[in-house]
Structure formats: structure tokens, C-alpha cells
């Protein structure tokens, strides 16, 4: 479970995402990851993406979010501008709830450093 200060920050992020990008639906972790992937790619969030592109955007977000922890390193972008990352160290085994906490904490860090 997130610490209270982080829980408040996470709720602030969800409120921000809902106000900017939602049609009234409550955003979840995947929505926030998708928007981070789109932001890292540098494209407008309202653009339509194919299913494989959506998965790639989630991967970009996860790699970007875990880079400060030393798990991934940006190695460059391809000719279409899509960033590519290299795994630098193996990710630890985490239970699903632990994965969610790690990603939420990484998103909070990203928002603190890049968005706010």
C-alpha cells in the first residue's frame, strides 16, 4: 500500500488526468501509463493508435519510469521517433500488488520531476 503522502499525490495525478484527458471516466494505472508513453513519444494524446502501438506506448512508459531506478537506459530513437530502451538490470520478482505500488511510486516521481 502507498504511504499516505504518496496516496495523496497519486489521487492528485488521477484528478489531473481525469480533468485533462477523460470523458468523465475514472483513469486507472494503464491510462496514466499510456499518457506517459504518448508524452514521451511527443504526440498529441487524442491521436488514434493501433493496438500494437498502444502496447508499445505502455512499454515506453514503463521503461522511462524505471530508468531512474537503473532498470532501463534510453539507447536512442528510431527513424519514426519512437524511443528504445535497453534492460540494464533484471527486474525483481514482484507480486501484482507490489508491481502496482512500484509503478505508482515511479509515476509520482515522474510527475514531480517532469510534469508539475
Query: pLDDT at position 22, please?
Result: 80
What's the rounded Cα separation, in Å, for the pair 110 and 91? 19
Residues paired with 74 in a beta bridge: 85
Please give the residue that has the higher pLDDT: either 15 or 48: 15
Q: Which three cell numbers stand for residue 105?
A: 511510486
Its pTM stands at: 0.91
Structural contact between residues 98 and 1, judged by C-beta atoms closer than 8 angstroms: no
Binned at pLDDT 50, 70 and 90, residue 28 comes out as very high
Render pLDDT for 45-79 as a digit per residue (tens, 0 to 9): 667 889 999 999 999 999 999 999 999 999 999 99
Query: pLDDT at position 23, please?
Result: 81
Q: Of all residues in the chain, what percent carry a pLDDT higher than 70?
A: 98
Mean pLDDT, the chain, integer: 93
Q: Of all residues in the chain, what percent carry a pLDDT higher than 90?
A: 81
Question: Between the CA of residue 88 and those of 33, 67, 70, 85, what are the distances in Å?
Answer: 21, 9, 7, 9
pLDDT at 30 over 90: yes
Q: Which three cell numbers stand for residue 78?
A: 528510431
Binned at pLDDT 50, 70 and 90, residue 2 comes out as confident
Amino acid at each position: 500500500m502507498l504511504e499516505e503522502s504518496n496516496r495523496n499525490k497519486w489521487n492528485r495525478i488521477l484528478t489531473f488526468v481525469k480533468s485533462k484527458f477523460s470523458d468523465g471516466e475514472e483513469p486507472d494505472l494503464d491510462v496514466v501509463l499510456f499518457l506517459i508513453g504518448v508524452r514521451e513519444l511527443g504526440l498529441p494524446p487524442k491521436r488514434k493508435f493501433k493496438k500494437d502501438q498502444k502496447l508499445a506506448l505502455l512499454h515506453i512508459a514503463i521503461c522511462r519510469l524505471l530508468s531512474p531506478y537503473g532498470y532501463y537506459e534510453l539507447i536512442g530513437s528510431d527513424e519514426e521517433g519512437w524511443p528504445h530502451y535497453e534492460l540494464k538490470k533484471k527486474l525483481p520478482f514482484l507480486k501484482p500488488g507490489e508491481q502496482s505500488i512500484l509503478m505508482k511510486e515511479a509515476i509520482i516521481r515522474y510527475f514531480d520531476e517532469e510534469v508539475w
